[in-house]
Chains A and B, each alone.
Chain A
Amino acid sequence: MKHSIVKLVLALSVIGVFPFGYASDSSKLVALTGSVSAVTPADLLDPIDAFRPKMRIRDAFTAEITVSIAPGYYLYRDRLRVELVDQMVAGKSSKQSPAKNPASNPKQNLALSIPTGKPVYDPTFGKVDVFEDSVTLLVDLARFQQVFANGNTSKQTLKVAFISQGCAAVGVCFPPQRQTFVLPLIASGDWTMPKDGASLPFGKSGISAMSPRVEPATPVRPVATK
């Protein structure tokens, strides 16, 4: 009987039931952290799994993008940007009437506040800042309050594209990724002022992280490579 059990255990280890069978997972770990020659597509994640951005309105003047970065992957700090794709007021796209809304020229970059990354030395690019694990950046939306300030209380929505570029530490790089989000904006008067009058980035004082917060916007186009 003992022999039968041993045979059964050995047989099952071959098909991956017992720890002997986990050799493939171990080799994957080595591949991701070691030899470049071991890179195979099977070891690598799709960009939508390697870099997962979520965007939300933080307050009347600011949106926040948090990117979760899978272990073994990194993003370049200087290759993060947010592009205004469209500004819709009362459901009307600025793309359709750019002359009436010159302030919202599509495809322009929005001002960002990005934390300092991890400095690394790249043999090609020299010292560069990268992000691992996660990064949260703030997007300046202050200028879009002008629509509300002008007495237009209509619904205002922005369509923005988050563009990023990163690599797997094993030695392969993803093309720039582009993900589009729709952000419903709220007039600053509709927000509760903070008691302490704390400052926000971009020099807008008087408003800080406060409630209510709008839930994360839904990516309207999850991933489209450039």
Chain B
Amino acid sequence: MPKKVAVFVGIAAAILGLLAILAITADRTKNPSSAANTVAAGSAATPSVIYSTSMADQFGNQQSLGQWSNKLLVINFWATWCAPCLEEMPVFVRLQEKYGPKGLQIVGIAADSAANSRKFAEKLKINYPILADEAGAIALSKRAGNRLGLLPYTIVLTASGHILMTKLGMVVEAEFEEVIKNNLPHQKYR
């Protein structure tokens, strides 16, 4: 291979590489949160924001998320118009039944009316609190790292007030159960 050709190929490739790096950098600058799937330290989603949130439950009674701060708290954002949300809710019912006595508290926050939420909660035999706020639910989920406000969206907070994980899309039952089992409030429960 002539030396000149090799040098030319090398220079061309280097320029392409530089352009690729610039493109990637520009994309990240334009959309800085696009790579974040979990809530990072310093993001808007601090446990205190979550614990200080109050919403009406499906029966119209005001509930503060802070009342469950001593539990392993799973907050599942859902809506009656969201098929994957409804599909995964039986998983939460099973986990609440199994680990509720051991310090797990699942709370569903519906981006829906109280009446709609109540109807579906009854149909799905939900055994955990359902809070309903048509606009507030999506807003809170966005503050908790759900950039596009998509559903289902689930966050897990430990009893010590640490955001353990966030999950966009349906949870995978076996994996999720492992997370729950390994983070129950007291060692004796595991």
- Closest residue of chain B to A174 (Cβ to Cβ) is B150
Residues in B neighbouring A39, C-beta threshold 8 A: 168-169
Judging by beta carbons under 8 Å apart, are A172 and B37 in contact?
Answer: no
B6: min CB distance to chain A, Å: 5
Judging by beta carbons under 8 Å apart, are A172 and B169 in contact?
Answer: yes
Stretch in contact with the other chain, from B52-60, B68-76, B79-87, B125-133? B79-87
Q: Is A225 an interface residue (CB 8 A)?
A: yes
- Closest residue of chain B to A42 (Cβ to Cβ) is B34
Question: What is the size category of the interface that chain A forms with chain B?
Answer: 35 or more
Judging by beta carbons under 8 Å apart, are B13 and A9 in contact?
Answer: yes
Partner pick for A46 among B16, B37, B148, B151, CB 8 A cutoff: B148
Q: Is A44 an interface residue (CB 8 A)?
A: yes
Residues in B neighbouring A173, C-beta threshold 8 A: 79, 81-85, 150-151
B72: min CB distance to chain A, Å: 21
B90: min CB distance to chain A, Å: 11
Given A40-B37, A124-B87, check contact A2 B1 (CB 8 Å).
yes
Partner pick for A41 among B1, B20, B33, B175, CB 8 A cutoff: B33
Report the Cα distance A9→B17, complex, angstroms. Answer: 10
Report the Cα distance A40→B3, complex, angstroms. Answer: 46
Given A17-B13, A41-B147, A225-B149, check contact A124 B83 (CB 8 Å).
yes
Judging by beta carbons under 8 Å apart, are A171 and B170 in contact?
Answer: yes
A137: min CB distance to chain B, Å: 19
Question: Number of B residues contacting the other chain (C-beta, 8 Å)?
Answer: 41
Report the Cα distance A67→B180, complex, angstroms. Answer: 42
Given A1-B1, A226-B135, check contact A170 B86 (CB 8 Å).
no
Q: Is B179 an interface residue (CB 8 A)?
A: no
Q: Is A12 an interface residue (CB 8 A)?
A: yes
Q: Is A16 an interface residue (CB 8 A)?
A: yes
Q: Is B35 an interface residue (CB 8 A)?
A: yes
Report the Cα distance A18→B20, complex, angstroms. Answer: 10
Chain A 154-176, CB-CB to B under 8 Å as 1, else 0, gives 00000000000101101111111
Given A125-B83, A226-B135, check contact A37 B172 (CB 8 Å).
yes
Q: Is A47 an interface residue (CB 8 A)?
A: yes
Residues in B neighbouring A168, C-beta threshold 8 A: 150
A164: min CB distance to chain B, Å: 11
Q: Is A23 an interface residue (CB 8 A)?
A: no
Residues in B neighbouring A42, C-beta threshold 8 A: 34-35, 37
Residues in A neighbouring B6, C-beta threshold 8 A: 1, 4-5
Q: Is A123 an interface residue (CB 8 A)?
A: yes
Q: Is B115 an interface residue (CB 8 A)?
A: no
A35: min CB distance to chain B, Å: 9
CB proximity to A under 8 Å, residues B115-162? 134-135, 138, 146-152
Judging by beta carbons under 8 Å apart, are A8 and B151 in contact?
Answer: no
Report the Cα distance A135→B135, complex, angstroms. Answer: 27
Residues in A neighbouring B82, C-beta threshold 8 A: 167, 173
Judging by beta carbons under 8 Å apart, are A41 and B34 in contact?
Answer: yes
Report the Cα distance A7→B157, complex, angstroms. Answer: 47
Judging by beta carbons under 8 Å apart, are A5 and B9 in contact?
Answer: yes
Residues of A within 8 A of B (CB): 1-2, 4-5, 8-9, 12, 15-18, 21, 36-37, 39-42, 44, 46-47, 76, 79, 122-125, 165, 167-168, 170-176, 225-226
Could you list 27 A-B pairs, sorted by A, with CB under 8 Å? A5-B10, A8-B10, A16-B17, A16-B24, A17-B13, A17-B17, A17-B20, A36-B169, A36-B172, A37-B172, A37-B175, A41-B33, A41-B147, A41-B148, A41-B150, A42-B35, A122-B83, A171-B169, A171-B170, A172-B84, A172-B150, A172-B152, A172-B168, A173-B83, A174-B148, A175-B138, A226-B135
> What 3 A-B pairs have minimum CB-CB distances, sorted nearest first?
A39-B169, A173-B82, A124-B83
